Amino acid sequence: MRWVRVLLRRVAGIVPSGRRELEMRAEIESHLVMHIDDNVRAGMDAREARRQAILKLGGVEMTKQAYREQSTLPFLETLMQDLRFAARQLRRSPGFAVTAVAMLALGMAASVAIFAFVDAALIQPLPYRQPTQLVDVTETIAMMGRANLSYMDYVDWKRDNKVFSSFAAYTGTGALLPTDKGSEVVTGMRVTDGFFRTLGVVPVVGRDFYAGEDQPGAAKSVILSYPAWQRRYAGSRDVIGKTVELSGVPMTIVGVLPESFQFIRRNNAEFWEVLQQSKGCEDRRSCHNLIGVARVKDGVTVAAAQAEMETIADRLEGQYPDSNRGQKASVIPLSEAFIGDMRPILLTLLGGAGLLLLIACVNVSSLLLVRSESRRREIAVRGALGASRGRLSRQFITEALLLVGAGSVIGLVAALGAMKLLLHLLSKDMLVRMPYLNGLGANLHVMLFAGGVALMAAVVFSVTPMLRLAGVNVREGLAEGSRGSAGVLWRRLGSHLVVVELAIAVVLLVGAGLLAKSFYKLLNVEMGFVPDHLATISVAMPDLQYADGVKQTALMKRVVDEVSAQPGVKAAGTTSVLPLSGNGNTDWIRFVGRPYDGKHIEVNEREVSPGFFAALGTRLLRGRHFNDADDVSKPKVVMVNEAFAKKYYPGEDPIGKVFGGTGLDPKTLRTIVGVVEDVREASLDTETWATEYEPFAQSPDSYFSLVVRTSQDETGMMPSIVAAIHRIDPALGTADEATMGARINDSETAYLHRSSAWLVGGFAVLALVLSVVGLYGVIAYSVSQRTREIGVRMALGAQRGSVYGLILREAGWLAGWGIVAGLGCAVGAAMLMRSLLFGTAAWDVGTLGSVATVLGVSAMVASYLPARRAAMVNPVEALRAE
């Protein structure tokens, strides 16, 4: 431990202290005086006595130096000297220092902030026990790939597999919760009893579901989310054992989930009820409403699990051909299922930020090259005075460290600010869907990444001026105005760096252009309805009071009538699934009078009110709309969308044609009465499938979504619409009030496209500025180096125009190469991110052309200024100058 004490005191000794120096001198002086006294006493004369004393000491200065070296750490001492010298150097050229630090901070801030998002989403493990063992298990169908799992298949899969240590299933649900203010629609989740055990989540209060609790006949129990416990039950522990009525069904509260619990698929679910096989969907093998989550056994790979589930699915397909034809299995890592769709956009953004960082580094490097050029003499002088090559290199490294240190600190602070800002820009709904962003911040990964970037920058910035050092010849460097190998090095390396910069700028600009174009196309995609002045709201009826279809239909009609009667409302209609909710909620059909091979014909199925399409503003292409006469007492009718008509009745008139369920049971047969244009049912960037619309009255439900066409601002209308619904029956639940415009803007697709377009656009603008500044610097420097040459040319009769030409040609070559190389790389980069493009090709000529033009013009403007200076050169002065 003694050496630690010594080290600390020596480190402390680095701070220069006048007192310590004085004390040392006094001690040595006192030593000499005492020695001289003794010598005089021994008979020497005063001069000899002093000489002998100093001789015996071994030299006063030598002693002092040895003493000083012991009192501090010589290495650190010189480092401090270097730092002070470097700081002085940078202060002497504040323009250079500020530019370099700012560029570095910019690159650092962008890349670190984006990396933090990448880390939170893609690198941090899911917050469950041994998350790499968790897999997402679903069925697949040819039409949409991964689809839901049916309850009966789940039961067979769970029983027959030997690869999972546990296997649970879940599905989202909503329920009506009686509160003081009437019924409230709450979100919930139905999960099998092993769900939380599979994830490795343990309730903080109460207990988990016990095995067998999901069997029919067991008492129904529910576990609360932490926020629900806090908000609805004030965090009271007495809540365990209490009964809560969800949609009229009494359930016992048995536990509370931890505060940290998150489940991306339905993160805002408040009530996690045990999933017991329900009547209706879950007793039919053909009805798919679940998603599976499983933990593979130790040593079992995802691929092995996939193979096993496929085998089981194949066997079930053979056993139940009616329901399981074409139903395969899919097992993928849970992390992939949860955030796989975020990967392309995040990696694109990280790539963009990385390119920006690269431009910044290249720019700083070329600044350093220029600077080392102008410091040739300084270096030569220091070399001549005896500085070793190592010592000179260390000076450069110190300067680089100082630059990088300052840039990194500023960049890191800016990155933290940028993270906050980006989080702020996310809507609340988005944050619910991205719970992993809660942990966003300067964690270990982010700091390591920042450290790595800083280290890389420090290496590059130390090596760059050292390249110059290699070419320095002391005699040559000292010679006045000499032109050595250094100039050549600059023109070979420095000017080519700017080509790299320009190329990167092209890549970023093209990327931003393509993303912006995709976003524009996305917002202007054919919707099949008029999205403005359209309010949407979900309505749920208590199942007990509205048990049969006649009551449900009557209520639906009453709601539509009452809401339509509100001032400011033009029309209203209902649907079972709002547009833009996604493809799905499908039905298997079979056409009358056509051969059927048992292969499932799967179409979207929606139940709508007679006025639904009129309220949406969707055009009727053929036939008629539904009307109030299409009720249970009449034969079934159906409307289809254009995609349906084109796919199943190409070149035919579908009106009057009949189709039904796979068994062609007479009860299911329905006649097509109308064809409407394609309403965008799926997300903005997904084509709508063939869709059938049935009249609500012929296929009623206790739940529907209302669409309301208003003549005034739809946001302001919302409260009066809700009030009108509650006036009919306070027990009705309403939820998801939103305008269609907001649904479009806040949709995940729009959000992802918008944010990527804006962020990459921001990077591209910065890249454009940095690279053009870089080009300006290169040309300006080149002009300053060639002043004498230009003077000679002009003295020999060159016109100003040809001088312009000389400089602009040089700039043109560099810019041209940069743009051409950049366009090539840009197409490659765009191919990599084509999953983010919508309606735009990676080689979109318009975008490529505009980018080339913008960059070309900017480059010419940037080089015009130095060219003008070159043309203004006075030949006499230029020749006299050296």
Partner 1 sequence: MGAKDRADVWQGTLALMVLKTIEAMGSLHGYGIARRIEQTSGDVLELNYGTLYPALLKLEQEGAIAAEWGVSENNRKAKFYSLTRAGRKQLAREAKNWEQTTAILARFLAPDEAV
Out of 48, 69, 322, 336, name the contact with partner 1 by CB under 8 A. Answer: 69
Q: Which of 14, 57, 73, 264 binds partner 1 (CB under 8 A)?
A: 57
CB of 8 or CB of 421, closer to partner 1: 8
Binding partner 1 by CB under 8 A: which of 16, 22, 25, 33? 33
* CA 841 from centre of chain: 22
* Span interacting with partner 1, options 1-9, 355-363, 405-413, 672-680, rule CB under 8 A: 1-9
Q: Choose between 23 and 665: whose C-beta lies nearer to partner 1.
A: 23
**CB-nearer residue toward partner 1: 9 or 420:** 9
CB 679 within 8 A of CB 641: yes
Q: What residues does 272 pair with on adjacent strands?
A: 189, 223
Longest dimension (CA), the chain: 140
* Out of 17, 46, 48, 66, the residue judged to bind partner 1 by CB under 8 A: 66
Return the number of the residue (2 or 667) whose C-beta is nearest partner 1.
2
Site stretch for partner 1 (CB under 8 A), options 23-31, 316-324, 346-354, 607-615: 23-31
- For residue 637, give the H/E element and its range: strand 637-641
Kindly indicate which of the ranges 28-36, 43-51, 180-188, 256-264 contains the residues binding partner 1, using the contact rule CB under 8 A: 28-36
Which of 22/488 has CB closer to partner 1?
22
With CB under 8 A as the contact rule, which of the stretches 31-39, 343-351, 372-380, 755-763 interacts with partner 1? 31-39
Considering only residues 17, 46, 56, 391, which one is a binding residue for partner 1 as defined by CB under 8 A?
56
Closest CA to 323 of 281, 287, 272, 282: 287
What is the smallest separation between the CB atom of 43 and partner 1, expressed in angstroms? 17
Q: Looking at beta carbons only, is 39 or 662 nearer to partner 1? A: 39
Closest separation between CB of residue 53 and partner 1, Å?
Answer: 8
d(C-alpha 125, C-alpha 114), whole Å: 18
Among 9, 162, 242, 619, binds partner 1 (CB under 8 A): 9
Q: Which of 30, 81, 388, 485 binds partner 1 (CB under 8 A)?
A: 30
For 154-201, give the DSSP string: HHHHHHH-SSEEEEEEEEEEEEEEEETTEEEEEEEEEE-TTHHHHHT-
Shortest gap between Cβ of 65 and partner 1 (angstroms)?
10
874 binds partner 1 (CB under 8 A): no
Give the per-residue SS3 of 15-50: CCCHHHHHHHHHHHHHHHHHHHHHHHHCCCCHHHHH
Residue 673 and residue 638 in contact, taking contact as beta carbons nearer than 8 Å: yes
Least gap, CB of 373 to partner 1 (angstroms): 44
Would you count residue 31 as binding partner 1 (CB under 8 A)? yes
Quick note: the x/- pattern for partner 1 over 70-99, rule CB under 8 A, is xx----------------------------
φ, ψ dihedrals at 701, nearest 5°: -150, 165
Whose Cβ is closer to partner 1: residue 28's or residue 655's? 28
The residues, ordered by sequence, that sit 6+ positions from 789 with a Cβ below 8 Å of its Cβ are none
- Shorter beta-carbon distance to partner 1: residue 5 or 88: 5
Q: How far is the CB of 30 from partner 1 (least distance, A)?
A: 5
Binding marks (x or -) toward partner 1, 326..365, rule CB under 8 A?
----------------------------------------
Smaller CB separation from partner 1, 67 or 210: 67
742-761 residues near partner 1, rule: CB under 8 A? none
Considering the complex, what minimum distance in angstroms separates the CB of residue 69 from partner 1?
7
Q: What is the DSSP string of 292-360?
A: EEEEEPTT--HHHHHHHHHHHHHHHHHH-HHHHTT-EEEEEEHHHHHHGGGHHHHHHHHHHHHHHHHHH
The size of the interface with partner 1 (CB under 8 A), counted in residues, is 28
Q: In whole angstroms, how close is the CB of 70 to partner 1 at the nearest point?
A: 4
Q: Is 251 helix (H, G, I), strand (E, B) or coil?
A: strand
Task: Considering only the stretches 56-64, 354-362, 544-552, 838-846, report the one whose residues sit in contact with partner 1 under the rule CB under 8 A.
Answer: 56-64
557 is an interface residue for partner 1 by CB under 8 A: no
* Residue 561 in contact with partner 1, rule: CB under 8 A: no
Measured from the CB atom, the residue of 72 and 187 that comes closer to partner 1 is: 72
- Secondary structure of residue 291 in the 3-state scheme: strand
* Cα–Cα distance measured from residue 109 to residue 69, given in angstroms and rounded to the nearest whole number: 41
Taking CB under 8 A as the rule, does residue 28 contact partner 1? yes
- Strand 182-191, strand 271-274: pairing: parallel
Task: Confirm or reject binding of residue 165 to partner 1 (CB under 8 A).
Answer: no
Smaller CB separation from partner 1, 64 or 371: 64
C-beta separation of 360 from 770 below 8 A: yes
Would you give the binding string for partner 1 spanning residues 34-53, x where CB under 8 A is met? xx-xx---------------
Token pair belonging to 331 = 């097992």
Quote the CA–CA distance of 407 and 106 in Å, as a whole number: 8
Of the chain, the end-to-end C-alpha distance in Å amounts to 63
SS3 834: helix
Residue pair 489/762 in contact (Cβ under 8 Å)? The answer is no
By CB under 8 A, the residues from 198 to 257 that bind partner 1 are: none
Among 16, 17, 46, 62, binds partner 1 (CB under 8 A): 62
Piece of the chain touching partner 1 by CB under 8 A; list 24-32, 506-514, 704-712, 854-862 = 24-32
Coil, strand or helix at 274: strand
Q: From 457, 451, 336, 467, select the one nearest 393 (Cα to Cα).
A: 467
Nearer to partner 1, 52 or 473 (CB): 52
Q: Which of 117, 115, 90 is nearest to 404 (CA)?
A: 90
Q: Tell me if 63 contacts partner 1 by CB under 8 A.
A: yes
Q: Interacting stretch for partner 1, rule CB under 8 A, among 69-77, 183-191, 222-230, 590-598?
A: 69-77
Please state, in angstroms and rounded to a whole number, the distance separating the CA atoms of residues 802 and 807.
9
Q: What own/partner pairs with CB < 8 Å and gap ≥ 24 does 757-760 have?
A: 757/512, 757/515, 757/516, 757/518, 757/519, 759/114, 759/349, 759/352, 760/348, 760/349, 760/352, 760/508, 760/511, 760/512, 760/515
Among 21, 44, 52, 67, binds partner 1 (CB under 8 A): 67
The rounded distance, in Å, linking the Cα atoms of 84 and 248 is 77
Q: What residues have CB less than 8 Å from 434, skipping those under 6 apart?
A: 121, 264, 342, 426
Q: Does 11 bind partner 1 (CB under 8 A)?
A: no
CB of 13 to partner 1, least distance (A): 9
- Which lies closer to partner 1 via its Cβ, residue 77 or residue 562? 77
19 binds partner 1 (CB under 8 A): no
Q: Residue 381: how many CB atoms within 10 A of its CB?
A: 14
**Shortest Cβ 22–partner 1 spacing (Å):** 12
202 and 258 Cβ atoms separated by less than 8 Å = yes
Contact 842, 830 (CB under 8 A): yes
Tokens of 757: 């377009």
Return the number of the residue (36 or 515) whose C-beta is nearest partner 1. Answer: 36
Q: Does 268 bind partner 1 (CB under 8 A)?
A: no
Asked if 565 touches partner 1 (CB under 8 A), the answer is: no
Residue nearer to partner 1 on the CB measure, 43 or 656: 43
Minimum distance from CB of 35 to partner 1 (Å)? 6
CB of 412 within 8 A of CB of 509?
no
Give the residues lining the site for partner 1 (CB under 8 A): 2, 5-6, 9-10, 23-24, 26-28, 30-31, 33-35, 37-38, 56-59, 62-63, 66-67, 69-71
